[in-house]
Amino acid sequence: MKVLQIINSLGTGGAEKLLLDTIPRYVAQGIEMDILLLDSKKTPFFQQLEALKCCNIYHAAKDNSVYSPRHIRAIIPFLKKYDLAHVHLFPAQYWAVLAKKLSGANIKLIFTEHNTTNRRLEHPLLRRIDKLLYQYYDRTVCITSGIRDVLVKHTGLPQARFPVIENGVDLAQIKEAMPMSKSAIQVQLKDEDKLLIQVAGFREQKDQATLIRALTHLPQHVKLLLVGDGITRPTCETLVDTLGLRDRVLFLGQRTDVARLLKSADMVVLSSHYEGLSLSSIEGMASGKPFVASNVPGLKEVVGGAGLLFDQGDDAGLAEVLSKLIENKEWYNQVAAQCVQRAEQYDIQKMVNQHIELYEYICS
């Protein structure tokens, strides 16, 4: 079986990290798999996958914008070489369908919906286009049952068209990672500092601003590591300067040693407005540190009853939760243990096996 993964890029993000971690596993189980990118930037994830030499990495077009319709014709030649294409994220979701329609290729199409919501569902025109294009996917994989329910209502298609396969994480990689000294992360950090960490791309969805504001309610020795990059980073940097937090907030950019950073921090936070099934949340819980997340769809289902939840956007409420963890070591250890136990439910191999079963079913 020959499978082509199609995605916008290998930039920072859960879907991108998922492909980096899973493609070698598919190949090891006998699936011939390659990846097609709309963006040609050689990001850290790109370089890591390239170094593994387990698949071919192709670029659809040299146009730097993933939103360029030029990608439609650029995708067409690839569709005639594979049995199945597994597509991720918008706008690759649209371009793949249109490429298949124009090419007349017999390739099967699967799409994974990674988020519980998107702006297209609220836009009158895009909502209609969206509803139509889902019909051309043989299956749309939903990473939670909540996403499936939203899409069944949105499209009017049968529930059987939306199988639920939860995302997974390479738990062994997290467990085996060695922590760093705090000064190795940044020379000005001290052993007595308490480190918060959030691993997320800088975009509106992730709401790093709430976590930054929470620092104003916490003692001076509490510091924040922000891992990732993106369009809202300059706004967050301005907020840090405005609040006088420049010596307490460290912008680490894109990193390939996330597992070690998680092990080196004291608490892991994700302050998103919404999520699908966040890989960052699972990795954070697997790190052996207390995980604190906003009480929103895609996080409350995964974190609730193990880690701790706060009202989204409530920086004072978030600070209160973090303060209690810092002050109560027994509770800190209890929450950390609960998080590790919850993360065990999301092993990556289980997800890979379920996808392979779906590929074989669709291609038969």
In which band, very low, low, confident or very high, does the pLDDT at 227 lie, cut at 50, 70 and 90? very high
State pLDDT tens for residues 191-204. 999 999 999 999 99
Segment 182-186 shows an average pLDDT of 95
pLDDT given for residue 63 in this prediction: 72
Lowest mean pLDDT among 206-215, 284-293, 295-304: 295-304
SS3 labels along the chain: CEEEEEECCCCCCHHHHHHHHHHHHHHHCCCEEEEEECCCCCCHHHHHHHHHCCCCEEECCCCCCCCCCHHHHHHHHHHCCCCEEEEECCCHHHHHHHHHHHHCCCCEEEEEECECCCHHHHCHHHHHHHHHHHHHCCEEEECCHHHHHHHHHHHCCCHHHCCECCCCECHHHHHHCCCCCHHHHCCCCCCCCEEEEEECCCCHHHCHHHHHHHHHHCCCCEEEEEECCCCCHHHHHHHHHHCCCCCCEEEEECCCCHHHHHHHCCEEEECCCCCECCHHHHHHHHCCCCEEEECCCCCHHHHCCCCEEECCCCHHHHHHHHHHHHHCHHHHHHHHHHHHHHHHHHEHHHHHHHHHHHHHHHHC
Position 307 pLDDT exceeds 90: yes
| pTM, 2 dp | 0.77
In which band, very low, low, confident or very high, does the pLDDT at 328 lie, cut at 50, 70 and 90? very high
State pLDDT tens for residues 4-42. 999 999 987 789 989 999 999 999 999 999 999 999 888
pLDDT given for residue 144 in this prediction: 87
Domains of the chain and CATH, by start = 2-168+347-363 (3.40.50.2000), 171-346 (3.40.50.2000)
pLDDT given for residue 275 in this prediction: 85
Segment 55-76 shows an average pLDDT of 90
pLDDT given for residue 37 in this prediction: 97
Q: For all residues of the chain together, what is the average pLDDT?
A: 94
pLDDT given for residue 122 in this prediction: 74
Segment 64-77 shows an average pLDDT of 92
State pLDDT tens for residues 202-219. 999 999 999 999 999 999
